Amino acid sequence: METIERKPRSREQTRSGIITTAKSIARREGWQAVSIRKIADAIEYSAPIVYEYFDSKDRLLDEIRSEGFRHLSQEYERILKLYRDPEKRLYEISLVQWEFARHQPEIYQVMYNLDGAYCTMPVYQSETMQAVSQIVRQTIFSFIPKSEESIKRLYFQWWSVSHGTIMLAMLLKDEQPLDQSEQIYRETMRRFVRDLR
Amino acid sequence: METIERKPRSREQTRSGIITTAKSIARREGWQAVSIRKIADAIEYSAPIVYEYFDSKDRLLDEIRSEGFRHLSQEYERILKLYRDPEKRLYEISLVQWEFARHQPEIYQVMYNLDGAYCTMPVYQSETMQAVSQIVRQTIFSFIPKSEESIKRLYFQWWSVSHGTIMLAMLLKDEQPLDQSEQIYRETMRRFVRDLR
DNA sequence: ACAGTCGATTTAACACCGTTAACTTATGAC
DNA sequence: GTCATAAGTTAACGGTGTTAAATCGACTGT
């Protein structure tokens, strides 16, 4: 029996390899096609090795979801540094949300359990998601200093409009070009921000 | 071997039994827990019998989805008969949408591939869904007689806001009581309809 | 040099899944 | 009584997530 040679990799490299592979399969074939064995094949290991890095498939998905929210929160922070005007900030944050969903749809899917992606952990219990919503709520607050309850409500509305439009755009992308949906999205979010005044 | 006795049922009864069972498992345990074997057990048949009624699990889900859209379209028609004012009509249609998602969440999930529900057939190719969108577009048109392109756009926006708010309400239902979300939904849809003028 | 241990990795297995082919069994026709 | 047909079952295939057991290699102590 010959020893198969495998490029030596650090633990961290293998771990991120698993995540990257999962995402790339999801992007190509959809989340329902992502299996532990397929991931293991791609990283040239046997299936149980994946469990050395993640307790379960569920936890793997949860990690990818958290990674998504972390990425989003970093982008939001970038916007906050870039602009001072709260209106501009909220609008730009909205655009980041769109860009994210458009360029990394498989992550957006696992974040919200869309299109066959299914992660058991409730989204709202994710700390990284809490961080994201904190940023948006504060931005709205610096804009409309009202009670916490009102801010929560406005945030809920902002999120609904943004998420709803994005979801529908993805759903109808074969019928209605994404560029057209993007135009509507921009207009909708601009109006939402304007109407906050 | 004793002959197991099974209540005699017509073909139609068995078929609708399959559908009902699938929905009830989905409601109790989520769509990812729905399996052909579990359905077969519940209707007291062996698994292959299910394939006498549906070509595949996918087609079964598609049937449930269509059933959902048919139900929705009937409710919309009912609203049209009940009210004459286009504004009132659109608002009441929005409320029907909310009620439907609230009381039959498992159907709403399969209609939009949410929370582990996954049906391959694209929604927008479903005839029953086309019927539903036709009703809403006409209602908007009788209200704002603009070009077809504009109506399509307004319909897209209406759908986004409604669907987005419903989805988020379901997502956050353990954090934010549904009654509270409903209040926001009503206000949001009322404002949307008003702003159409 | 040899036995023993430890860690990394794989194989094998379990219980489930969707799906299909092959088999059984009961019923009615001639 | 024999045959055909229909209804329903069992058995099987290749897949899934997951875990226990087995393997294999390198290193250690004597």
Residue B3 is predicted with a pLDDT of: 41
Cβ contacts of B153 on chain A, cutoff 8 Å: 184
Residue A52: CB partners within 8 Å, gap ≥ 6? none
Q: For residue B126, how many other CB atoms are within 10 A of its CB?
A: 18
Average pLDDT (A179-193) is: 98
Considering only residues B40 and A4, tell me which one the structure prediction assigns the higher pLDDT.
B40
Read off the pLDDT band of A3 (50, 70, 90). Answer: very low
Q: What is the mean pLDDT of residues A127-148?
A: 95
Look at residue B5 in the predicted model and tell me its pLDDT: 53
pLDDT in the model for residue B8: 63
Among all chains, which residue has been given the structure tokens 């439009």?
A165
pLDDT for the residue A143: 86
Contact between A86 and A139 (Cβ < 8 Å) = yes
Cα A23 from chain centroid (whole Å): 12
Determine the Cα–Cα distance for residues A179 and B6; give it in Å rounded to an integer. Answer: 57
Chain B residues within 8 angstroms (CB to CB) of chain A: 32, 112-116, 118, 122-124, 152-153, 156-157, 159-165, 167-168, 171-172, 174-176, 181, 184, 188
Q: 3-class DSSP state for residue B78?
A: helix
Chain A residues close to B188, C-beta within 8 Å: 157, 160
In angstroms and rounded to an integer, the radius of gyration of the C-alpha atoms of chain A is: 19
| Identity of the residue in B115, B153, B164 whose CB atom sits nearest the CB atom of A167 | B164
Q: Which residues contact B113 (CB under 8 A, 6 or more apart)?
A: A114, A115, A116, B119, B123
How close A104 comes to chain B (CA, Å)?
18
CB of B188 closer than 8 Å to CB of B97 = no
* Chain CA centroid to CA B120, Å: 16
Among A97, A115, A157, A191, the strongest candidate for a mutation testing the B interface, having the largest count of B CBs within 10 A, is: A157
Contact between A153 and B184 using a beta-carbon 8 Å cutoff = yes
The Cα–Cα gap between A126 and A72 comes to: 13
* Of B156, B175, B188, Cβ closest to residue A168: B156
Average pLDDT, chain B: 95
- Is the confidence at residue B171, as pLDDT, over 60? yes
Across the interface, whether the CB atoms of B113 and A112 are under 8 A apart is answered no
Residue A5 is predicted with a pLDDT of 52
Vertex B29 angle, CA B24 and B34, to 5°? 70
pLDDT tens digits for range B2-43: 344 566 668 889 999 999 999 999 999 999 999 999 999 999
Rg of chain B over all Cα atoms, to the nearest angstrom: 19
The runs of H, that is alpha helices, within chain B are: 11-29, 36-42, 47-50, 57-82, 86-103, 105-112, 127-141, 148-171, 178-196
> Residues B61-107: pLDDT tens digits?
999 999 999 999 999 999 999 999 999 999 999 999 999 999 999 99
Number of H helices, E strands in chain A: 9, 0
- Residue A145 and residue A88: Cα distance in Å, rounded? 16
| pLDDT tens per residue, range A41-93 | 999 999 999 999 999 999 999 999 999 999 999 999 999 999 999 999 999 99
Residue A52 approaches strand C within 7 Å at CB: yes
Stretch A135-163: mean pLDDT: 96
